[in-house]
Amino acid sequence: MSGTEELLVEADRLAAWLDSADPPALLDVRWRLAGPPGRADYAAGHVPGAVFVDLDTELCGPPGPAGRHPLPDPAALQAALRAAGVRAGHPVVVYDGGDGMAAARAWWTLRWAGHRQVRLLHGGFPDWVAAGLPVSTEAPSPATGDVTVRPGELPVLDTASAAALAAAGDGVLLDVRAAPRYRGETEPIDPVAGHVPGAVNLPAGEYVGPDGRFPAADALRERFAAAGVAEGAPVGAYCGSGVTAAQAVLALHLAGRPDAALYVGSWSNWVADPSRPVATGG
């Protein structure tokens, strides 16, 4: 999967698809880093037929040394996806509140779990509403799905492989946090400021808009190339806890790099061990 037509779906196309004889499973994953949980937003109104899935408790494992949003337990993830009606070999569409981060992490998690037919509603719920499409407050009761979680279908970096990639001369580890966090000038969430030595800063705002919409593939390739992403060379991404970086991996897929790896634990995992080196400055 490398084209936008395979990874993204626009609101009008999704509406037609949902009205077809074989609609996709639809997951509402609205979420805010600082809370409150997105379930209240879902209850206030959602795309008809959507099932709410919680990013923090259902798509990720509990926070700890592995990071604030570590990989989920495969059995727990499988149970959550089946409860949401996800079926083996059947398409899934995910959406969030518009910035695209939670939806990208949901997309990445399903792809990592071996479910290949996953698309993201481009622009999220705000684009659906802006298109004048219907909104529901009814929570559906989908038939239990039969998806089987097979972890490892997308590449994952751990601390050792992230450090090696950052230090490698032929690859690049992208730090997609805001520049002041990368430089170590501020750190609003984690206990240590700075970045993985050798990582290159490419803030998320340089490859995706605040509305969660991506530029064309050619523009994405240019932006990643300017950050040092070379054709055929290894590339990975990290952020604070692996959510924004999942959006970077989606952008890299759109740019034709389906081999891009996610450092799931990201900075929150890196600084959990005080012996790991920390770099500051530009």
Please report, in tens digits, the pLDDT of each residue of the chain (282 residues total): 334 448 999 999 999 999 999 999 999 999 998 888 899 999 999 999 999 999 999 999 999 999 999 999 999 999 999 999 999 999 999 999 999 999 999 999 999 999 999 999 999 999 999 999 999 999 999 999 999 999 999 999 999 999 999 999 889 999 999 999 999 999 999 999 999 999 999 999 999 999 999 999 999 999 999 999 999 999 999 999 999 999 999 999 999 999 999 999 999 999 999 999 999 998
Q: What is the pLDDT of residue 150?
A: 98
Query: Which residues, in sequence order, are CB contacts of 142 under 8 Å at separation 6+?
Result: 25, 51, 84, 85
Per-residue pLDDT, 42: 98
85, amino acid identity: G
Q: For residues 145 and 84, is the Cβ–Cβ distance under 8 A? A: yes
CA–CA separation, 24 and 108 (whole Å): 17
Task: Judge whether 60 counts as a catalytic residue.
Answer: no
Distance, in Å, from the CA atom of 256 to the CA atom of 229, rounded to the nearest integer, reads 12
What is the model's pLDDT at position 33?
84
- Predicted local confidence at residue 212, as pLDDT: 94
Instruction: Report the distance separating Cα 252 and Cα 234, nearest Å.
Output: 12
Under DSSP, the state recorded for 205 is G
pLDDT at residue 216, rounded to an integer: 96
pLDDT recorded at residue 3? 43
* Averaged pLDDT of the chain: 96
Q: Which token pair is 48? A: 């008809």
How many other CB atoms are found less than 10 A from the CB of residue 77? 23
| Confidence (pLDDT) at 141 | 94
pLDDT, tens only, 217-264 = 999 999 999 999 999 999 999 999 999 999 999 999 999 999 999 999
Cα–Cα distances (Å) from 42 to 27, 31, 141, in that order, read 10, 10, 15
pLDDT for residue 211: 94
Contact between 91 and 118 under an 8 Å Cβ cutoff? The reply is yes
Counted residue by residue, the chain has a size of 282
164-201 in b/e form (b: 16+ CB < 10 A) is bbbeeeebbbbbbbbeebbbbeebeebeebbbbebbbb
> Which backbone phi and psi does 57 adopt, to 5 degrees?
-105, -15
Catalytic residue among 102, 220, 239, 246: 239
Domains defined for the chain, CATH in brackets: 4-130 (3.40.250.10), 156-270 (3.40.250.10)
pLDDT at 17: 98
Q: Residue 35 has what pLDDT? A: 82
3 state DSSP class of 106: helix
pLDDT at residue 53 in the model: 98
Ramachandran category for residue 281: left, alpha or beta (phi over 0 → left; psi -120 to 50 → alpha): left
Read off the pLDDT of residues 181-197 as tens digits, 9 standing for 90 and up.
999 999 999 999 999 99
Tally: H helices and E strands in the chain: 11, 10
